Chain A
Amino acid sequence: MTKGLLSLSLLALTASGALADEIRVLNWQGYGTDLGWSLEAFEAATGHSVVHEYFNSEQEMLTKMRTNPGAYDVVLINAAYTTQAYEEGLLAAIDTAAIGNYAGIPANFAEDPSLVHKGAVYGVPWTWGLTAIAINTQAFDEAPTSLEVLWDPAHKGRVSIRDDAEEAVHLGALATGQDINNIEDLDAVEAKLRELMPQLRTFWASENDWNQFMAAGELDVASYWSGSAARSAGMGLPVEFVVPKEGAIAWLDGLSIPETSEHKEAAAQFIDWMIDPEFYVKWDAEGAPASANADAAAALPDDAFNKRVLGDPEVVKLAKFRAPMDDATREKYLALWQSLKAAQ
């Protein structure tokens, strides 16, 4: 009898060992995957516990994947970097049949050439958003419609952009009417950015920075991310996100599974959880970027920023998605940006 009980409990132990995995997620800190209430619910539903590790830049994320094989099960990768990770053999093909909510993702995201290689999916579209400008509503009677507001002498010394070479060059490309993924006249971009420099009060580096500058009344208008603008406005700051007529830089973040992951099934379950409409509606209440899952976006209340602004077809038309960038171009942009900053 005791023997039977013992073997039964042993069986239970091994069974739970096979079912309950510890999933390791690599992401930016505070970016959706590490919400306490969601992880508790996920563990209650599937038995898998989730541990996080964070990165501070895309380069760091790639380095961590290369140097720690087997350490991660789910990695957040900006679609502009997914192709590079795929080509380095870092990613595993994802079995989308195991992800129930995948059907809700519209084709323009699901078939993104950065995420799909040789017919296999290497990244599940999770969130997207825009990089455009946000204004201090107290400094404007009427919201501007053009990116030229950054160059407006009336706001000299009260403008900010992020200290980031790619973002600066992309803004310059939009302002000079060029394709952000194929800039033909880089000199024009440089000249335009050189004009912008005296307008700037400072550079911002993080959302927290941005909020502090706005709260201190240092800025009238600054480049900003759509999701962050919704969060800042939700905190009570007088902030409004503006999608200028020249267009906005759009980004798409996907969730991928590293080739070396040892818990691929559990990882797929977690990805499914992350694109679940029910999770997204709760997350959006706390300030989330737009979901790439159309079902999730539709589930939002009508006054939600992500439905009201980013759900607007006119806005979607202005979104210019970032394509993958090769290292030579990236270095060229960096050199351009550094020389502009050094000339100050």
Chain B
Amino acid sequence: MAEVIHAQDRRRLLTLLGPAYLWLTLAVFLPLSAMLFFSFLSDMPGDAPDWGVTLGNYTQFLENPTYATLLWKSLKLGVTVTLFCIVIGYPCALVLAKSIKGRAREALFLMVILPFWSNSLVRIFSWAIVLRGNGVLERTLNWILPFDIRLNLMFTTEAVVIGLVHSYLPYVILTSYLALQAIDDDLIDAARSMGASKLTILNRLLLPLSLPGLLAGAVLVFVPVVGSFMEPRILGGRMGTYYGTVIEDQFVAVYNWPLGAALSFILLAVVLVILGAASPVLRRART
């Protein structure tokens, strides 16, 4: 009898989970495994009749120091952008969750999310208009300030960081906001009644309790920024060569899909290793 129920359960489980797994297989697993297959080819089958299986694309990464240099540069960019997102985004979320109530909060929330709904390419081109020489930013500053000012921000690493921080800030704000929202206001009142200062409340209460949200946001920012290519290309000028742009070149400019796929999987592996190394910290934050 027990076994019959078991079988029924299993059937129910299958029908409920089936669509999700089917979707994952079709949308994630198949394209990804096709790319994994490409990464071991010497040439794309359509291009050259004498294609074969090789590890050459992966050894190229080791033989050519350019790729490692660029990967390191991209990882540094990822860390910088993530830090800025946390430093700016967490206080924003804190104010949103704990200081502002009612209508004002809804309005501010909309302002945080609104840029998120616009196309990322539009956002980046808007930044290009703002940052470029004699652009919106310089003109405004020159209008306000008595002396002449030349920022020369366009086509610098700073411009790339500004564009990326703006693009990915909502992730940190949203995840931190959700975590902070879940903290009972009574807890804060209790701490205050025991004489805790604002800084103590932040350090001992709010930060530890909202850390899972903050870290989730940080991971959501770090991973795509390491592989970013559009923002560096448009805002970075000659400084804008990163690991992501080299992968993009392999796919759209030189048509070396196998090498592009191999470089992508190396990036995936490196990111997984980093997240794996950080997982003890992440796990401690969850408990």
Contact = CB atoms under 8 A, between A and B. Distances in A.
A314 to B, nearest CB: 33
Interface string A180-201: 0000000000000000010011
B52 interface: no
A108 interface: no
A91 to B, nearest CB: 17
A338 B237 contact: no
Given A217-B133, A217-B134, A201 B237 contact: yes
Interface string B228-256: 00000000011111000010010011110
Interface string A29-56: 0000000000000000000000000001
B47 A66 contact: yes
Given A66-B46, A202-B237, A344-B238, A335 B255 contact: no
A338 B133 contact: no
Contacts of A334: 254
A341 interface: yes
B206 interface: no
A197 B238 contact: yes
Interface stretch (A57-65, A111-119, A231-239): A57-65
B46 A67 contact: yes
Interface stretch (B66-74, B80-88, B181-189): B66-74
A341 B238 contact: yes
Nearest to A339: B66
Interface in A138-186: 157
B229 to A, nearest CB: 13
B142 to A, nearest CB: 15
User: Quick one: which of A197, A216, A338 has the most chain B CB within 10 A?
Assistant: A338
Interface string B48-82: 00000000000000001110011001000000000
B18 to A, nearest CB: 36
A218 interface: yes
B46 A342 contact: no
User: Quick one: which of A59, A201, A334, A341 has the most chain B CB within 10 A?
Assistant: A341
A338 B69 CA distance: 11
A66 B43 CA distance: 14
Interface residues of A, number: 24
A318 to B, nearest CB: 28
A56 B249 CA distance: 12
Contacts of A202: 154-155, 237-238, 240
Interface string A199-217: 0111100000000000011
A15 interface: no
Contact of B253 (A57, A66, A157, A200): A57
Name B's interface SS.
loop
Interface residues of B, number: 26
B133 A216 contact: yes
Nearest to B133: A218
Contacts of B239: 344
A1 interface: no
A342 B155 contact: no
B166 interface: no
A97 interface: no
Interface string B134-149: 1100000000000000
A201 B66 contact: no
A343 interface: yes
A206 to B, nearest CB: 12
Given A63-B47, A218-B132, A335-B66, A341 B253 contact: no
Interface string A276-300: 0000000000000000000000000
Given A63-B255, A218-B132, A342-B73, A203 B66 contact: no
Interface in A324-343: 334-335, 338-339, 341-343
B66 A216 contact: no
B2 to A, nearest CB: 58
A329 B30 CA distance: 35
A342 B132 contact: no
Interface in B190-248: 237-241, 246
Contacts of A341: 238, 241
Nearest to B253: A57
Nearest to B135: A216
Contacts of B70: 342
A229 B241 CA distance: 27
B255 to A, nearest CB: 4
B72 to A, nearest CB: 10
Contacts of A63: 46-47, 255
A21 B65 CA distance: 53
A338 B263 CA distance: 14
A336 to B, nearest CB: 10
Given A202-B238, A335-B64, A342-B69, A57 B255 contact: yes
Contacts of B46: 63, 66-67
A200 B241 CA distance: 14
18 contacts: A57-B252, A59-B255, A63-B47, A66-B46, A66-B47, A67-B46, A200-B237, A201-B155, A201-B238, A203-B238, A216-B134, A218-B132, A339-B64, A341-B238, A342-B69, A342-B73, A343-B69, A344-B238
Given A59-B254, A63-B47, A216-B132, 14 more contacts: A56-B252, A57-B253, A59-B253, A157-B152, A201-B238, A202-B154, A202-B237, A334-B254, A338-B66, A338-B249, A339-B65, A341-B238, A342-B241, A344-B241
Interface of B: 46-47, 64-66, 69-70, 73, 132-135, 152, 154-155, 237-241, 246, 249, 252-255
Report, nearest first, the 10 A-B pairs whose CB atoms are least far apart: A202-B237, A341-B241, A59-B255, A339-B66, A200-B238, A202-B155, A342-B66, A67-B46, A342-B70, A342-B69
